[in-house]
Amino acid sequence: MSSYLTSCEKAARAAGKVLTEWRGKFQVREKGRADLVTDADLAAQKAIEEILSGDFPDFEFLGEEGPAGVSRTTGSPFCWIVDPLDGTTNYVHGLPNYSVSIGLAEAGTIIAGVVYDPVFDRCFKAEKGQGATLNDERIEVSRAKSLDEALIAASFAASIQKGSPEIDDFVNVLTQSRGIRRLGSAALNLAYVATGCLDGYWAGSNKPWDVAAGVILVQEAGGIVQGYNNQPFDVFQPKIVATGTQQLQAALQAQISSF
């Protein structure tokens, strides 16, 4: 495991400890309608940044809870992309489906990432060219090829409106797949695709920090990650479709019209 991934895991576990310690003690604020932030988010990001900045002081840092998301700009091609608490609404309500997500990009390409589930102590890790693991055991995507055998996850904007094209996409996939789940953490959705317990995932309203780590998990587990309309994935414009096979990727892309 490289020093990048070692630092990723160390920072993610430190943030997970912070989130656990803050349970039941935090204050909640709204960044936007149904878009929450807590003291725990802020404390967890501080813990992450202290570790990563200490280990790699020249790397840039993009975190969800900084001013405009940006905490440090250095001109380096390397940038940490961090969500200290992906699934804040779940966390606030006591639903045990949230995570810490840390990805490392080099010139816009994700080269390493960790998604850490502090509730169940599950650490998903991946590095470019080195495969993906869950608690150091190798993981692989599912081989589902058609929607009717696939369990799919989706994410929607916190402020989604009735009549949105995203709702039409949801209905399209719902009526053709084995089932749809909206679990509330994009990072965990992608981690679950990487393990094969979900067959696919799509979303049109994520931010870079929601998906940076999860993208490399899926890729290194043998899966496919694209933007909408079969376009190359761009972490800074992260409309995303992720599956385990080319056949399922084509089938899911065909149901998504909200480009």
What residue numbers does the annotated binding site for Mg(2+) cover? 64, 83, 85-86, 210
Contact (CB, 8 A) for 103 and 207: no
The H or E element that residue 246 is part of is helix 246-253
91 contact partners, CB below 8 Å, separation of at least 6: 19, 38, 40, 85, 98
Known binding site: residues? 64, 83, 85-86, 210
Name which of 15, 30, 18 is nearest 84 in CA terms: 15
Distance, in Å, from the CA atom of 206 to the CA atom of 202, rounded to the nearest integer, reads 10
**Taking each helix axis from N to C terminus, what angle separates 3-22 and 39-55, rounded to the nearest 10 degrees?**
160
Establish how many alpha carbons lie within 13 A of residue 215's alpha carbon, considering only the half-sphere containing its beta carbon: 30
Tokens 């840092």: give the residue. 61
Beta bridge partners, 242, equal 201, 225
Chain center to CA of 170 = 19
Contact 244, 151 (CB under 8 A): no
Contact partners, residue 176, CB within 8 Å, separation at least 6? 147, 148, 251, 255
Name the region of 242 (left: φ>0; alpha: ψ -120 to 50; beta: rest): beta
